[in-house]
């Protein structure tokens, strides 16, 4: 239907008082949508053809509409130019248009600099005269009034893809860990590692010095007694069949992450108590939440957690095929997602990363990586399984402050994608990666792994890579 005919029909229905009848007819005809519900007066279009800005009543704090940046990946020689545009996606029965009042930054510097390139108010980027180090540059358009106000583009200056070098590595000289499962950073830049086989969670310095032991574990107890209110104060009983059913003990912990205040959240597989346990900065148990089960707010097997910018905790559940959201004190807020193998459905979700727009990326054990809006609506997919010579299962993913996503490819290495799923390059090749995390300066800390037992015994606990 053309715009002219649509407006004519809309006004005819309004003038004849038939809108309510049209709405009633829609109830028996799912394909029909009334042009103008009687509870909302007709709203004329702006001069440029775009509908005036409004909000969805279901999400009163979320403005309608999305934006994108074009191009999202550019490969330039030193001194070359590239025009970037921030585009507002087309609203219903209208046109896409350029965003207004855009703030442009390069590597978080408004207008850029001579070292990383400059960008003017119209989005015209000029690469620096010399290849920068690192040669990957991040252009960001800040747009108001859209669901995703931060739009990221990757610029590779003087190179066709990203490049990293191994800066250092270290081995667990304290021998407290058996199988490091996940790694993350706390607010002070120290490393948090969950050991699923050794039933422990630890804080290390970036150089590998053991700083903190969290909670209680079979081999490294913080005290002679279990916490008050425990099922049993006898260590051998309190540890349970894996490592700990009492609060403060662990049973095959999967992930340890920190909030902005430094509190550490550890999730494990114990079924007889809440699965997410919270510890203070000194490693002392505070409280737990997330009962085992499939009721709202319950968990069966969490394999990934992340905080958003509001401090809400998001935990993906492999078995329930959903993402639960909690307040920091454990109060259940809501959940989204359902089981399936089609786009937008969750197939054994195995990890998640939340980007600077609070939009989650979720990777399935069988692939792919999917991006969703902050309220769980599907956006796009990438990093698919690629048999027979490439991975058909995935363990984790992580991201950085520019919205880039890193996907470990088992024994093949670590791949990097930008915020819209475009392949940027390999961080490592031929080195298996269990998990990783990225520091503010772009340094990557990896847990190497190998399907070969003899090779795995020779690997460092943590390998450190720097962009170049």
pLDDT at 449: 87
What is the per-residue pLDDT across 7-28, written as a single tens digit (0 to 9) for each?
Answer: 544 444 444 443 333 333 233 3
For the chain, the structural domain boundaries read: 1-42, 67-157, 164-467
Choice among 39-48, 62-71, 123-132, 153-162 with the minimum mean pLDDT = 39-48
| CB of 321 closer than 8 Å to CB of 338 | yes
Share of the chain above pLDDT 90, in %: 68
Query: Where do we find the tokens 């309510």?
Result: 20
The pLDDT value given to residue 55: 44
pLDDT, average across residues 325-331: 97
Pairwise CA distance, residues 21 & 109, whole Å: 56
Band of pLDDT at residue 451, cut at 50, 70 and 90: low
CB atoms within 10 A of CB 324: 24
**pLDDT computed for residue 174 by the predictor:** 82
pLDDT at 176: 86
The half-sphere exposure of 351 on its side-chain side, counting CA atoms within 13 A, is: 29
Architecture of domain 67-157: Sandwich (2.60)
Task: List residues bridging with 98 in a β-sheet.
Answer: 87
Q: Is the pLDDT of residue 388 over 80?
A: yes
Other CB atoms closer than 10 Å to residue 19's CB: what's the count? 18
Contact 409, 144 (CB under 8 A): no
pLDDT digits (tens, 9 = 90+) for 458-468: 789 999 999 99
CATH class of segment(s) 164-467: mainly beta
What is residue 410's predicted lDDT score, i.e. its pLDDT? 75
CB atoms within 10 A of CB 179: 14
pLDDT tens profile 211-243: 999 976 554 444 333 444 433 333 333 333 345
User: What's the whole-number mean pLDDT along residues 70-79?
Assistant: 98
Query: Taking all residues of the chain, what is their mean pLDDT, rounded to a whole number?
Result: 83
pLDDT digits (tens, 9 = 90+) for 45-69: 333 333 334 444 434 554 469 999 9
pTM: 0.82
Domains 67-157 and 164-467 share a fold: no
Q: Is the pLDDT of residue 38 over 80?
A: no
pLDDT class of 248 with cuts at 50, 70, 90? confident
Q: What's the per-residue H, E or C state across the chain?
A: CCHHHHHHHHHHHHHHCCHHHHHHHHHHCCCCCCCCCCCCCCCCCCCCCCCCCCECCCCCCCECCCEEEECCEEEECCCCEEECEEEECCCCCCCCEECCCCEEEECCEECEECCCEEECCCCEEECCCCCCCCCEEEEEEECCCCCCCEEEEEEEECCCCCCEEEEEEECCCCCCCCCEEEEEECCCCCEEEEECCCCEEEEECCCCCEEEECCECCCCCCCCCCCCCCCCCCHHHHCCCCCCCCCCECCCCCEEEECCCCCEEEECCCCCCCCEEEECCCCCEEEEECCECCCCCCECCEEEEEECCCCCEEEEECCCCEEEEECCCCCEEEEECCECCCCCCECCEEEEEECCCCCEEEEECCCCEEEECCCCCEEEEECCCCCCCCCCCCCCCEECCCCCEEEECCCCEEEEECCCCCEEEEEEECCCEEEEEECCCCCEEEEECCCCHHHHCCCCCEEEEEEC
Q: What is the pLDDT of residue 198?
A: 86
Residue 421 CB neighbours (<10 A): 18
């Amino acid at each position: 239907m053309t715009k002219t005919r649509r407006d004519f029909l809309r006004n005819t229905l309004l003038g004849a008082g038939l809108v309510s009848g049209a709405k009633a007819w829609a109830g028996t005809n799912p394909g029909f949508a009334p042009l103008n519900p009687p509870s909302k007066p007709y709203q004329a279009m702006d001069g440029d053809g775009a509908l005036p800005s409004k909000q969805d009543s279901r999400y009163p704090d979320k403005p309608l509409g999305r934006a994108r940046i074009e191009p999202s990946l550019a490969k330039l020689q030193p001194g070359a130019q590239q025009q970037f545009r921030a585009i507002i996606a087309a609203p219903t029965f209208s046109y896409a248009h350029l965003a207004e009042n855009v703030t442009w930054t390069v590597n978080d510097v408004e207008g850029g600099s001579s070292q990383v390139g400059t960008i003017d108010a119209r989005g015209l980027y000029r690469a620096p005269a010399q290849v920068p180090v690192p040669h990957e540059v991040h252009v960001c358009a800040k747009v108001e009034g859209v669901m995703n106000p931060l739009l990221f583009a990757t610029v590779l200056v003087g190179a066709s893809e990203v490049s990293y070098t191994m800066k250092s590595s270290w081995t667990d000289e304290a021998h407290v860990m058996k199988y490091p499962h996940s790694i993350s950073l706390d607010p002070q830049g120290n490393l948090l590692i969950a050991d699923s086989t050794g039933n422990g969670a630890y804080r290390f310095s970036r150089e590998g010095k053991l700083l903190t032991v969290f909670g209680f574990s079979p081999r490294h107890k913080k005290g002679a007694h279990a916490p008050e209110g425990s099922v049993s104060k006898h260590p051998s009983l309190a540890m349970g069949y894996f490592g700990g059913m009492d609060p403060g003990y662990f049973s095959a912990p999967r992930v340890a992450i920190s909030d902005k205040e430094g509190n550490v959240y550890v999730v494990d597989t114990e079924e007889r108590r809440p699965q997410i346990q919270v510890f203070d900065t000194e490693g002392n148990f505070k409280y737990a939440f997330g009962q085992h089960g499939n009721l709202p707010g319950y968990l069966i097997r969490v394999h990934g957690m992340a905080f958003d910018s509001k401090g809400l905790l998001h935990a993906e559940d492999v078995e329930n095929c959903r993402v639960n959201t909690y307040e920091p004190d454990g109060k259940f807020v809501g959940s989204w997602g359902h089981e399936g193998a089609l786009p937008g459905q969750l197939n054994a979700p195995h990890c998640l990363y939340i980007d600077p727009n609070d939009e989650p990326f979720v990777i399935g054990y069988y692939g792919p990586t999917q991006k969703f809006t902050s309220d769980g609506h599907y956006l796009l997919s990438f990093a698919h399984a690629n048999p027979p010579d490439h991975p058909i299962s995935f363990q984790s993913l992580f991201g950085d402050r520019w919205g880039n996503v890193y996907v470990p490819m088992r024994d093949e290495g670590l791949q990097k994608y930008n915020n819209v799923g475009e392949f940027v390059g390999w961080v490592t090749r031929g080195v298996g990666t269990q998990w990783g995390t990225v520091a503010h300066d772009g340094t990557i800390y990896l847990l190497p792994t190998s399907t070969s037992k003899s090779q795995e015994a020779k690997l460092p606990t943590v390998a450190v890579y720097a962009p170049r």
